[in-house]
Structure 1
Amino acid sequence: MANIKSAKKRILVNETKAARNKAIKSKVKTSIKKVDAAVVANDKDLAKEMLRNAISELDKATTKGVYHKNTTSRKISRLTKAVNSIA
């Protein structure tokens, strides 16, 4: 355990930020799973709706600094490709 006051504060701040990042990542993963489930079920309308929500969540996570912009672009690209593959 830290003895210096500023070090103690950093520990608390890091815990807070880690919890925030974890919540945001969890939200993103859930939205991605919903898209994948719709693709597996071959429900194009639901998949498009879920894709729209997933892209929104990914963009929010990127602006908050949780994901790098290239990571977000890659994930969006793969999801879009999967949704477009539905006949």
Structure 2
Amino acid sequence: MPNTESAKKRLRQNEKLRIQNRSLRSRLRSQLRRVHEAVKAGDHAAAQTEFRTAAKRLDQAASKNLIHKNAAARSKSRLNKMVKSVAG
């Protein structure tokens, strides 16, 4: 248990951030799953729409240091490749 006031405050802040990060990470993973499902179903239009949202969520997660910016770029690249393979 924290003893100082600043340590107590830091504990409160960490708990709040942990809950926020968990929520954002969950939203991100759900969106990525939607893209994968659309690609698997062969629905190009739906995959394209879901990819746009997923790219936005990946960028938001990277900007908040939830994931590394290169990891976000790599994920977007791979998703885009999958979405384009459905069209062909």
**TM-score, structure 1 normalization:** 0.94
RMSD of aligned C-alpha atoms? 0.9
What is the alpha-carbon distance in structure 2 between the residues aligned to residue 60 and residue 3 of structure 1? 35
Q: 1:7-60: CA deviations, max 9, x gaps?
A: 111111011111111111111101100000000000000000000010011111
Partner of 2:26: 26
- Count how many residue pairs are aligned between Structure 1 and Structure 2: 87
**TM-score, structure 2 normalization:** 0.93
Structure 1 consecutive aligned stretches of length 4 or more whose deviation exceeds 6 Å: none
The Cα shift of 1:84 comes to 1.1
User: Which consecutive unaligned segments of at least 5 residues does structure 1 have?
Assistant: none
Identity over the aligned pairs, expressed in percent? 38
What is the alpha-carbon distance in structure 2 between the residues aligned to residue 65 and residue 3 of structure 1? 29
Of stretches 46-55 and 16-25 in structure 1, the one that deviates more from structure 2 is: 16-25
Q: Which has the higher contact order (CA 8 A, sep 6+)?
A: 1
Please state if 1:51 is matched with 2:44: no
User: Which consecutive unaligned segments of at least 5 residues does structure 2 have?
Assistant: none
